[in-house]
Amino acid sequence: MKLFIIIYIALCVSCLGVENSPYDTARGGVQGFFLLDALAKNPDHTQRIRFLVSTDAQSILESSGDGHWKKIDYSAEPFSRLALRGQTLLALGSGNDTYYSSLDMGRSFSSQTVPLGGFQANRIAACGDLVVVTTHAGGTGFRATTSLNGGQSWTGPVLIQGGGPASADLATCPETAAGTCSGFCMASGSGGGTHITAHASDGANWNTIAGLPAGTRNGAASGRQGILIGTSTGGIYHSSGDPTNFSLVDTALSYIGQIVHTGDVFLSVSLSGAVVQLRRSHDPASGIWTQTDVDFSVDPPTINSLTAKNGVVLLVGNRSGNPFILRSTDHGLSWIQDEISFSGITSLSDAMSILE
């Protein structure tokens, strides 16, 4: 009886026809060539993009970049700055010697200690296990604290510029042209009537960057074309990747608020009256830029942050006492304002884009 069942099953299986997938090129599927071609031309489309925006309430807004936003509430204070270390979200609040970390992209946060001499953190940036936190130490100077192991231990605070009043205007850890960590971080601050931008790879030894004039550093970004830094005096400075050497590449605007790399181009943003001015360049070293203006006629927005990933760009801030998001899906060529209508939120402070 058992032998009969085995023979019967074998005969039935031999009669079954197996249809090859049209996407299986190894078995003659022709559609697979079109699929492979599409993936080769648009490799990033197979990855999910997540945008996170901090608010003046105890919440973070989340979107995939399509204009639809979800509000995530958490049990901590409102955050002024966001950064990403791997898949860990970092955030700054108002506490001294403190930052926050989240392992679930903003659903919950844990308070972490960072030695800042008893002062509040102003800027935070990370690349791999390299993390830098800056502070203006109560008007006594501009200081930075750095971790080489993702926050397990810290070096600092190291005094970079003494005197007062002091500020901490910028912290960034650039990526290389290949998208990997460059191995150093940069920070800017002012004190005693001077302004300084410095870089460090070990957190203890900060070296000033030559070629950058006085003027608050409001934005910086890195991409395959190098690194850009913008100043409040309107100059845009470029480096091929060497943190010691920057040169002036654009002076068209009187003020630079933010700079971002979209995945294809560098984009800088400025506000002149009621007009948001956006300048784009595929190759900043060439000095070739194009400009797009978005005229709000009256009641211009306040832009607090700029982020981008794979051609989707977000400008966030506030306008008329309400949260404001201006979005582009074509690397900054055209723009649309997203509708944000969550109660209790009047302003957006920082934005973060994540490729998953």
**All domains of the chain, ordered by start, with CATH?**
76-208 (2.120.10.80)
Q: What is the pLDDT along the chain (356 residues), one digit of tens a residue?
A: 444 444 343 444 344 343 444 434 344 444 444 333 433 444 444 578 999 999 999 999 999 999 999 999 999 999 999 999 999 999 999 999 999 999 999 999 999 999 999 999 999 999 999 999 999 887 778 999 999 999 999 999 999 888 777 889 999 999 998 889 999 999 998 877 788 999 999 989 999 887 888 888 889 999 999 999 999 889 999 999 999 999 999 999 988 989 999 999 999 999 999 999 999 999 999 999 999 999 998 899 999 999 999 999 999 999 999 999 999 999 999 999 999 989 999 999 999 999 88
Instruction: Answer yes or no: are the C-beta atoms of 197 and 217 closer than 8 Å.
Output: yes
**Residue 180 and residue 176: Cα distance in Å, rounded?**
5
pLDDT for 161: 86
Residue labelled with tokens 């971002």: 260
pLDDT for 2: 44
Residue labelled with tokens 């500020």: 167
pTM reported for the whole predicted model: 0.85
73: its two tokens: 């509430």
DSSP strands (E only) in 192-321: 194-200, 207-208, 217-223, 226-231, 236-239, 247-250, 258-261, 266-272, 275-281, 290-295, 302-309, 312-319
**Residue 296 and residue 294: Cα distance in Å, rounded?**
6
pLDDT for 269: 95
Instruction: Answer yes or no: are the C-beta atoms of 142 and 123 closer than 8 Å.
Output: no
pLDDT for 73: 97
3-state helix, strand, coil in the chain (%, to 5): 10, 45, 45
